[in-house]
């Protein structure tokens, strides 16, 4: 599973990453997901650092997106994501 966290606040990105790691660790301990479950968490600190890889075909299963980034609005990115056929979830 590829997860992207996009927020211009690095502390917020790190906290979301910590919570995700804790969540998946708990699920593995509870045996609700397999112990060989693989995840990759990518952190982006600007809208551009997220939109450029997406435009080049990068794939994420899940994106946590800040609404108000310094270089662009999260809504602008969200609208563009709707046009990507393989895109799944945005929070």
Averaged pLDDT for residues 26-43: 94
Say if residue 19's pLDDT is above 60.
yes
**What's the structural domain count of the chain?**
1
Give the best-scoring range by mean pLDDT among 61-65, 72-76, 82-86. 61-65
DSSP type of residue 91: -
- Give the span between the Cα atoms of 33 and 24, in whole angstroms: 8
pLDDT for residue 67: 85
Which residues does residue 73 pair with via DSSP β-bridges, in sequence order?
A: 68
Q: Which CATH number do you get for residue 77?
A: 3.40.50.2300
- Supply the range of the domain harboring residue 67: 2-90
Residues 91 and 74 sit within 8 Å (Cβ to Cβ): no
Residues 17 and 43 sit within 8 Å (Cβ to Cβ): yes
- Give the span between the Cα atoms of 4 and 41, in whole angstroms: 6
């Amino acid at each position: 599973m590829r997860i992207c966290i996009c927020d211009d606040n690095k502390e917020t990105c790190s906290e979301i990453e910590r919570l995700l790691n804790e969540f998946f660790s708990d699920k593995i301990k509870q045996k609700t997901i397999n112990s060989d479950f693989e995840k990759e968490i990518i952190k982006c600190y600007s809208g551009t650092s997220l939109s450029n890889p997406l435009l080049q075909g990068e794939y994420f299963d899940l994106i946590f997106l800040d609404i108000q980034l310094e270089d662009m609005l999260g809504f602008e990115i969200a609208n563009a994501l709707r046009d990507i056929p393989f895109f799944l979830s945005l929070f």
